[in-house]
């Protein structure tokens, strides 16, 4: 079929079973070469071979070769000649892995995010991927939840910017271009609001909070043209998302006018029974389809019941036709009727994977995502050191790619020790494991070797963190301190040698309170394929840290959920000190503020915020406000700085946050250089949802400041008329 294929005519020639087949997605293992090899749901559900040939999409295949094999076999057996869609979780890279999204967002650099996503799109397209299940733009406040690693953190504006950037990068300006793939935004809605930070848990939120914090990023991705959306597993205010009429019909379809493809999450229809919303798969099918779920992923509701529901008159076949049209339209936009294999090319897939160009992008991304939490003059280390001790589980460990790393491999990641040895060929580099980072491993067997190595070194690099499997889907933690005996190891090593820097590898904010006496702490996240090289660049001054935190690091897990843009109470704590204040909203023994807050991140150079100038003290819808912020690099290193702009609405009809990020810009400053960043503040940027859930701005006084979260460098006041 050519690109001018008539989709309406094609649908009119399809049987009901063929139409329903377009709405079913199974794992690639279901499309094996012979009936004898059929496994998993195909075998469990008793799906005959003729039904398999009708299926419209698959996921979780291995490479371009498998894609081509499955597609070829499918087309040989599909009388309509409709190609299958091939989907994959390309979350932070396909084969060349860059930092986890929480880390990449810490770069505060949309251009870098775009570049990384384009790299992933090219590799994935060559591997046969047509659709990626990204971006994940769930708004988060609780570091206990393992999937914070896939998000942009605790600020809704940042999530909007990063999510929309990824959509544009993956999809490009022409979806039929073989280097572009369709994006699927997830998880709609408020999956990140899981109670107690426990994955898949219930979410109870007011509509006002939903609209103001949790939903803007989904809408931003839709406005950016995202082709697909995935409802979340969780129940939202008592109704699972995929069966939630208000969410799926009233907001998504009617208010936001989303006309793309809706795909369920893995077995989400089956989980409607477990939730207690549907007594059986027939009812689950009816609920999900009625609320707009086009493609069912990895459950058997549509296969077993959708045709029957149509023939019984419960579901109008015209609605099935409309769902099929959305799926076929996406295939046509991707150019799959012209070339069912699209960009799938085994040779190109191999050539792009971990190419020098792609490794360079991943290395820069890992460097600019790293956040210097603390530095008492230790970093950067001199390259003239004679002996370096690298201590800890991640010292020479390549398990730093992170969860959801698609086809990335641990053995293809550069370790810290490998990178330091390459950077300092004349230095003696010793490694000591120290201890395992497992929560239930209390052994101190490796302590003596680690302490001895530290004593005899000119510089010590502590490489600590949590295992890759401690964050990501299904991996919530009640205790988010460094697991195992790592805190004890760190204290022993620091006592042996104070010329020590700590690298943290992790998928979430951790409680670092008990190791915060370390002279220097560099947050690396799970940095991906080039993580070791990026770490060495930063440690020895070839790169200057410029990342800023996208989530607050609590002092204690008991502070969770903790987030910078919280509303005031009627009895706020008026002092910043960590002392208990009677009859105020605060904790005994801990204080309210995090150890490290949103937007925090140090540099090796001295950055002075010299001035902030407002064009006026009054603004209106017709008259925006111009804000000019002057920053000078007074230090000796060239560096990048993210200039952040915050507001506080002092009086409004609903309680407003104590601060909200409204704009940012990342700039490069040579040593001694001064630059002025200009922001335009519009009335739209001051809007919020009132008690009636109307999106409004209200006249009154505002504070505007630059700095980060609670740390104000320069501030002023203005009035909205």
Domains of the chain as residue ranges with CATH: 7-348 (3.20.20.300), 385-602 (3.40.50.1700), 607-720 (2.60.40.10)
Lowest-pLDDT range of 1-5, 138-142, 609-613, 628-632: 1-5
Residue 34 has pLDDT above 90, yes or no: no
How far apart, in whole angstroms, are the C-alpha atoms of residue 367 and residue 532? Answer: 10
Tell me the two tokens of residue 39.
């496994």
Instruction: Over range 121-137, report the average pLDDT.
Output: 98
pLDDT band per the 50, 70, 90 thresholds, residue 457: very high
> Phi/psi at 185 (nearest 5 deg)?
-80, 145
Tell me the sheet residues that pair with 357. none
Six token digits for residue 219: 């809408």
Dump pLDDT digits (tens) for 249-308. 999 999 999 999 999 999 999 999 999 999 999 999 999 999 999 999 999 999 999 999
State both tokens at 659: 């601060």
Span between the terminal Cα atoms of the chain, in Å: 59
Task: Provide mean pLDDT across the span 349-353.
Answer: 98
Q: What is the pLDDT of residues 146-156, one digit of tens each?
A: 999 999 999 99
- Per residue in 648-690, pLDDT (tens digit) is 999 999 999 999 999 999 999 999 999 999 999 999 999 999 9
Mean pLDDT of the chain: 96
Distance CA 42, CA 48 (A): 8
> What is the spatial distance between Cα 118 and Cα 122, in angstroms, rounded to a whole number?
6
Condensed to tens digits (0 to 9), the pLDDT of residues 468-508 reads 999 999 999 999 999 999 999 999 999 999 999 999 999 99
In this prediction, residue 1 has a pLDDT band, given cuts at 50, 70 and 90, of very low
What H or E segment, with its residue span, contains residue 216? helix 216-223
pLDDT at res. 38: 45
Q: pLDDT band for position 334 (50/70/90)?
A: very high
Alpha-carbon 147 to chain mean position: 8
In the DSSP assignment, the letter for residue 242 is G
Q: How confident is the model at residue 46 (pLDDT cuts 50, 70, 90)?
A: confident
Predicted pLDDT at 42: 62
CA–CA separation, 302 vs 308, rounded Å?
9
Tokens of 515: 């190791």
User: Quick one: which of 240, 290, 228, 307 has its CA closest to 267?
Assistant: 240
Just list the catalytic residues. 265
Q: Assess whether pLDDT exceeds 50 at residue 597.
A: yes
What's the confidence (pLDDT) of residue 37?
Answer: 46
DSSP 599-655: T--B-SS-EEEEEEEES-SEE-SSS-EEEEEEEEE-SSS-EEEEEEEEEEESS-SSP
Q: In b/e form, how buried is each residue of 449-469, taking b as 16+ CB within 10 angstroms?
A: ebbebbeebbbbbbbbbbbbe
pLDDT, mean of residues 694-698: 97
Cα 93 from Cα 358, distance rounded (Å)? 10
What local confidence, expressed as pLDDT, does residue 40 receive? 55
Least confident of 36-50, 131-145, 517-531, 673-687: 36-50
The percent of residues in the chain predicted with pLDDT above 70, rounded, is 98
The pLDDT value given to residue 575: 72
Percentage of the residues of the chain whose pLDDT score is greater than 90: 94
pLDDT of residue 30: 86
Q: Which two tokens stand for residue 61?
A: 């295949």
Distance CA 90, CA 111 (A): 19
Predicted confidence at residue 417, as pLDDT, reads 98
What order of strands is seen across the sheet that includes strand 674-681?
Answer: 607-614, 625-633, 674-681
Q: Where are the extended beta strands (E) located within 363-512? A: 371-375, 387-391, 428-432, 459-465, 500-505
pLDDT digits (tens, 9 = 90+) for 199-216: 999 999 999 999 999 999
Distances (CA, A) of 269 to 266, 323, 415: 8, 17, 42
């Amino acid at each position: 079929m050519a690109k001018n294929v008539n989709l309406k005519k094609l649908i009119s020639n399809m049987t009901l079973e063929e139409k329903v087949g377009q709405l079913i997605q199974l794992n690639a293992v279901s499309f094996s070469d012979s009936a004898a090899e059929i496994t998993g749901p195909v075998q469990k559900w008793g799906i005959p071979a003729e039904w398999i040939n009708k299926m419209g999409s698959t996921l979780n295949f291995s490479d371009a070769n498998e894609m081509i094999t499955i597609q070829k076999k499918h087309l040989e057996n599909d009388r309509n000649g409709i190609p299958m869609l091939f989907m994959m979780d390309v979350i932070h890279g396909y084969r060349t892995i860059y930092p986890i999204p929480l880390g990449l967002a810490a770069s505060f650099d949309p251009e870098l995010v775009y570049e990384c996503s384009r790299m992933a799109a090219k590799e994935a397209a060559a591997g046969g991927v047509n659709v990626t299940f990204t971006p994940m733009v769930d708004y988060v406040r609780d570091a206990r939840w393992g999937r914070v690693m896939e998000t942009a953190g605790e600020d809704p504006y940042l999530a909007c910017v990063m999510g929309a950037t990824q959509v544009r990068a993956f999809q490009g300006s022409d979806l039929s271009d073989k280097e572009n793939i369709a994006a699927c935004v997830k998880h709609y809605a408020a999956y990140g609001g899981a109670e107690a930070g426990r994955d898949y848990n219930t979410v109870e939120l007011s509509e006002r909070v939903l609209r103001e914090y949790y939903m803007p990023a989904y809408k931003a991705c839709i406005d950016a043209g995202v082709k697909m959306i995935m409802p979340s597993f969780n129940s939202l205010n008592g109704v699972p998302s995929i069966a939630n009429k208000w969410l799926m019909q009233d907001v998504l379809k009617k208010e936001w006018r989303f006309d793309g493809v809706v795909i369920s999450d893995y077995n989400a229809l089956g989980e409607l029974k477990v939730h207690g919303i549907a007594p059986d798969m027939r009812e689950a099918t009816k609920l999900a389809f009625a609320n707009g779920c086009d493609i069912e992923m990895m459950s058997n509701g549509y296969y077993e019941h959708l045709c029957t529901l149509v023939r019984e008159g419960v579901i109008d076949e015209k609605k099935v036709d409309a769902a099929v049209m959305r799926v076929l339209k996406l295939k046509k936009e991707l150019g799959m009727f012209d070339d069912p294999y699209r960009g799938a090319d085994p040779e190109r897939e191999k050539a792009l994977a971990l190419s020098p160009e792609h490794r360079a992008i991943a290395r820069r991304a890992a460097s600019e995502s790293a956040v210097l939490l603390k530095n008492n003059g230790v970093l950067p280390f001199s390259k003239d050191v004679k002996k370096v001790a690298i201590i800890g589980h991640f010292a020479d460990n390549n398990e730093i790619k992170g969860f959801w790393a698609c086809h990335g491999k641990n053995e293809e990641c550069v370790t810290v020790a490998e990178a330091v040895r390459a950077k300092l060929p004349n230095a003696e580099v010793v490694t000591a494991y120290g201890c395992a980072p497992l929560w239930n491993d209390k052994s101190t067997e490796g302590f003596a070797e680690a302490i001895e190595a530290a004593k005899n070194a000119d510089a010590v690099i502590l490489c600590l963190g949590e295992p890759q499997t401690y964050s990501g889907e299904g991996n919530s933690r009640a205790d988010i301190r460094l697991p195992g005996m790592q805190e004890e190891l760190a204290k022993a090593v620091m006592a042996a040698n104070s010329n020590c820097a700590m690298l943290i590898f992790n998928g979430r904010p951790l409680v670092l309170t008990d190791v915060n006496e370390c002279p220097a702490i560099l947050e690396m996240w799970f940095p991906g394929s080039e993580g070791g090289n990026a770490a060495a660049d930063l440690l020895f001054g070839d790169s200057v840290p410029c990342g800023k935190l996208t989530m607050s690091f609590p002092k204690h897990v008991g502070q969770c959920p903790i987030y910078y843009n919280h509303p005031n109470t009627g009895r706020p704590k008026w002092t910043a000190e960590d002392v208990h204040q009677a009859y105020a909203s605060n904790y005994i023994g801990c204080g309210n503020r995090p150890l490290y807050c949103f937007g925090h991140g140090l540099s090796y150079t001295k950055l002075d915020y010299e001035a902030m100038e407002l064009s006026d003290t009054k603004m209106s819808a017709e008259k925006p406000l111009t804000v000019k912020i002057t920053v000078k690099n007074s230090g000796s290193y060239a560096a990048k700085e993210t200039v952040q702009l915050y507001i506080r609405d002092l009086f409004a009809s609903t309680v407003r946050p104590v601060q909200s990020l409204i704009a940012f810009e990342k700039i490069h400053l040579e040593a001694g250089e001064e630059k002025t960043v200009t922001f335009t503040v519009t009335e739209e940027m001051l809007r919020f949802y009132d008690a009636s859930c109307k999106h409004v701005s209200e006249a009154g006084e505002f504070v505007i400041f630059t700095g980060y979260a609670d740390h104000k460098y320069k501030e002023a006041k203005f009035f909205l008329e």
